[in-house]
Amino acid sequence: METEHYDPEAKVIRMGEYLDDDEYAEVFRHEYGHFADDEMGSPSTAGEFESAIDADLAWFADPQMKAEMLADLKAHPEVMADRCVSDILSGLFHNDSEIMAQYYDASIDFYGHSDTYWKRKNSREQETFANMFSIYSSGSSQASEAFLTKYFKNATRRYKKLIGSPSS
């Protein structure tokens, strides 16, 4: 079975038929984020977005920041349940075992990609962009938006500027 994905060669989003309506809508928004990124000339890979992500990740060199983020996740299961948030964490922290264990302990699915996938050039930037697109276009993920703004403020600010958000 082929997984859902945006095919940049054909300029088409390919979706499976096994998702429920809510999953379908969420996954489609994510894949549409890849489409939008492609149609905009791939701003996710233009450098500024990568630099913003790197700036945010530099904060996590301090173990206290990661501990604070994990405590915040634990306190907000609705953020943990957002597959876009877990996919962002999967990519930015390369499937960090401590993060994944927190999901396991909370009995919440951890959505992400394989370590091999994350080694592909620009995968982290492209997936983060598409996940932010999904979160911000849903209009119903205020807790996830607040989480991203708090822990990934540079990437969030850059995303909003790239997408032309009025709150950028």
Domain-embedded: residue 78 = yes
Report the domain count for the chain. 1
pLDDT for res 26: 84
C-alpha closest to that of 84 among 131, 152, 138: 131
Tell me how far apart the alpha carbons of residues 51 and 45 are, in angstroms, rounded to a whole number.
Answer: 10
Show the domain range for 159. Answer: 5-163
Is 11 a residue whose pLDDT tops 80?
yes
% the chain with pLDDT above 90:
76
Q: How confident is the model at residue 138 (pLDDT cuts 50, 70, 90)?
A: confident
SS3 109: coil
Record the pTM: 0.91
Domain-embedded: residue 104 = yes
pLDDT for res 2: 60
Is 167 a residue whose pLDDT tops 70?
no
Find where tokens 């540079």 sit: 154
C-alpha closest to that of 132 among 105, 102, 100, 162: 162
Is 157 a residue whose pLDDT tops 80?
yes
Is 1 a residue whose pLDDT tops 50?
no
Is 14 a residue whose pLDDT tops 50?
yes
**Type and span of the H or E element at 5:** strand 5-7
pLDDT for res 20: 80
pLDDT tens digits, one per residue of 78-118: 999 999 999 999 999 999 999 999 999 999 999 999 999 99
Domain-embedded: residue 168 = no
Is 166 a residue whose pLDDT tops 80?
no
Tell me how far apart the alpha carbons of residues 123 and 156 are, in angstroms, rounded to a whole number.
Answer: 17
% the chain with pLDDT above 70:
97
